[in-house]
Amino acid sequence: MKQPKFNSEQIAELLKNEHVIKCSKTITYSKEFKVLAVKQYAEGMTASQIFREAGFDLRLIGKYVPKNSLNLWRRTFEAKGEVGLRSEERGTTKGSQKGRPRIKALNDADRIKRLEIEVAYLKAKNDFLVKLRAQRKS
């Protein structure tokens, strides 16, 4: 999906809307608008209707943005409730971490444990490669 790129005039126009917090390449909507939109969608309104009634020009934001945004907000609402839509952090809940844990943040005991696991993995990998080479030579 291609991100819309707004010029300075379009950004100024979007920022006039009470439901927009920030705007650059993407629009950051207020938490209240997200909750309201999900509830209105559940009552049977279409995504386009909700955004038009909220004062958005669909030609400016893109005709697929309302539906895509509402799908994302609905999934978040179903998984985490209203609190999920009001969360400050995008895509995470407080205290959650994405990706591999950082080694720098570990204390010495945890770092040693992690390194021991890594050494065991590498030894097993080397043993496997030795066996594989032996089979190829046979």
**81 has pLDDT over 90:** no
Alpha helices in 22-107 (DSSP H): 31-42, 47-53, 58-61, 65-80, 82-86
- 3-state DSSP of 107-127: CHHHHHHHHHHHHHHHHHHHH
List, for residues 15-38, the tens digit of each pLDDT value: 999 999 988 888 889 999 999 999
Q: Tell me how many domains the chain contains.
A: 2
Question: CA 93, CA 80: separation in Å to the nearest integer?
Answer: 9
Do residues 73 and 130 share a domain?
A: no
pLDDT of res. 105: 74
Same domain? For 29 and 82 the reply is yes
> Do 67 and 125 fall into the same domain?
no
Q: Are strands 27-29 and 20-23 parallel, antiparallel or unpaired?
A: antiparallel
Q: Say if residue 77's pLDDT is above 70.
A: yes
At 46, the pLDDT band (50, 70, 90 cuts) reads very high
Same structural domain for residues 32 and 57?
yes
Return the pLDDT at 103. Answer: 66
Helix (H, G, I), strand (E, B), or coil: what is residue 88? coil
Tens digits of per-residue pLDDT, 103-137?
Answer: 677 788 888 998 999 999 999 999 999 999 999 88
The Cβ of residue 65 has, within 10 Å, a number of other Cβ atoms equal to 19
- Are 113 and 47 in a shared domain? no
Mean of pLDDT over the chain: 85
Domain assignment of residue 32, given as a range = 8-86
* 41 within 8 A of 72, measured Cβ to Cβ: no
Residues 15 and 76 in one domain: yes
Position 114 in a domain: yes
Do 21 and 66 share a domain, yes or no?
yes
pLDDT > 90 in the chain, percent: 44
Residue 89 phi, psi (nearest 5): -90, 135
Together in a domain, 67 and 24: yes
Q: Are residues 29 and 81 in the same domain?
A: yes
pLDDT of residue 97: 60
Same domain flag for 82 and 108: no
Do 50 and 76 sit in the same domain of this protein?
Answer: yes
Q: Which of 102, 88, 97, 44 is nearest to 70 (CA)?
A: 44
Structure pTM?
Answer: 0.60
Residues 52 and 118 grouped into a single domain: no
